[in-house]
Amino acid sequence: MESERRIGSFLKSIGASGHSAERKKLWLVTKTYFHTQIDEHLHGSLKRLQQDYVDCIYMHRLRDPKLVASQQTKEQAERLKKSGMTRFFGFSVHDEPVVECLNAAADTDHIDVIMFRYDCHYYPKSDLMAAIEKCHKKGIGLVAMKTGVGGMTLPDRYDPFRKRGLSQYESTLKAVALDPRIHSICSEMTTTDMVQQNSNALSTKASLADLDAIKEHAELVSHLWCRGCDHLCREASGAGRNLAVADSLRFLMYHDHYKKEEWARDLYQRLEPEQRDLYAIAAADWQSAERACPYHVPVGKLMQRVRERLA
């Protein structure tokens, strides 16, 4: 909410409000976790943004593919677009069930945009590639997020980008931009250096060295991060169905690689007590969990780091 207020004040100061020429130069989006009460929350966002409309509203972090094609979602999308409060309607999805959600969207006529987690490590996933292609052919706008995941996990001596004089961050952005089905990339830019890196990544063509480094990088770090299918490792570990393994490891990524230590700890503490049960973490059979992980993630080692750094 605070970010909307600050953005709203800035946009007003430069005359980018209403239907002005300056406003039309921008692509302004917002999101809500309240998937069945979007009208009310969009009203609040527009008030904070000091705007008459947004270009897109996302149902944020969708977890239920059935909601994509539901009659309620269709009615909300049509109502909000007809009211003029938004031009386009869509959703974001982080991990599982991303394939199911993309396929469901391709079978509807009311989903305009999807923002989903996507980077070079996903290239071997044939089911995801097919779902992306299906949405692309349907004409749905595709926005990639978290494109650099795992990009800061390699020691210098193993970094294929450094060997070639390349930036890991810029190269992983290029890898996504090379996919012609991806229309935009949602990339955090909190410093001028990050703005410059994003600009460099997307304004220069990828060389053969870039492509080789991207492939090598994906192979080297594939096992170091969680894809979110934690139902597999939870069941194998005996930790109980309530333990939030995927969320915990995502927050650990924020802590270790995004260097947002305080925010990561705060997010972890917001989980329900049974989702971050330290006894369940200590008692779990993580060796069995790791054998069950299709990506060979060292879940036990990472969950121990969760206990040390977030709990």
Domain final residue pick, 193, 219, 245: 219
**Secondary structure (DSSP) of 11-49:** HHHTT--TT-HHHHT---EEEES-TT-HHHHHHHHHHHH
| Residue 153 and residue 245 share a domain | no
Of 219-223, 263-267, 306-310, the one with minimum mean pLDDT is 219-223
Q: How confident is the model at residue 207 (pLDDT cuts 50, 70, 90)?
A: confident
| Residue 176 and residue 129 share a domain | yes
Domain final residue pick, 176, 201, 219: 219
Domain extent, residue 250, equals: 226-309
| Residue 275 and residue 134 share a domain | no
* CATH code of the domain covering residue 41: 3.20.20.100
Q: What is the pLDDT of residue 155?
A: 64
Average pLDDT, the chain: 88
Comparing 89 with 167, the larger pLDDT belongs to 89
| Residue 266 and residue 131 share a domain | no
Contacts of 227 by beta carbon, 8 Å cutoff, 6+ apart: 95, 96, 295
Token reading at 296: 């060979």
What is the arithmetic mean of pLDDT over 217-246?
A: 85
| Residue 304 and residue 253 share a domain | yes
Give the residue carrying structure tokens 């009615």.
75
| Residue 245 and residue 150 share a domain | no
Find, among 54, 50, 56, 57, the residue nearest to 17 by Cα. Answer: 50
Q: How confident is the model at residue 149 (pLDDT cuts 50, 70, 90)?
A: low
Comparing 101 with 155, the larger pLDDT belongs to 101
Q: Find residue 265's DSSP bridge partners.
A: none
Find, among 73, 80, 35, 37, the residue nearest to 55 by Cα. Answer: 80
Total domains present in the chain: 2
| Residue 290 and residue 168 share a domain | no
CA distances (Å), 9 to each of 12, 29, 32, 40, in order?
Answer: 5, 16, 20, 21
CA 38 to chain centre: 20
Q: How confident is the model at residue 271 (pLDDT cuts 50, 70, 90)?
A: very high
| Residue 159 and residue 18 share a domain | yes
| Residue 193 and residue 293 share a domain | no
| Residue 188 and residue 230 share a domain | no
| Residue 264 and residue 178 share a domain | no
Distance of alpha carbon 179 from alpha carbon 147, whole angstroms: 12
Domain final residue pick, 174, 197, 219: 219
| Residue 232 and residue 151 share a domain | no
Rg of the chain taking only CA atoms, in angstroms: 20
Say whether pTM exceeds 0.75.
yes
Q: What is the pLDDT of residue 153?
A: 56
pLDDT beyond 90 at 181? yes
- What pLDDT, in 10s, does the model give residues 53-83? 999 999 999 989 999 999 999 999 999 999 9
Distance of alpha carbon 307 from alpha carbon 311, whole angstroms: 5
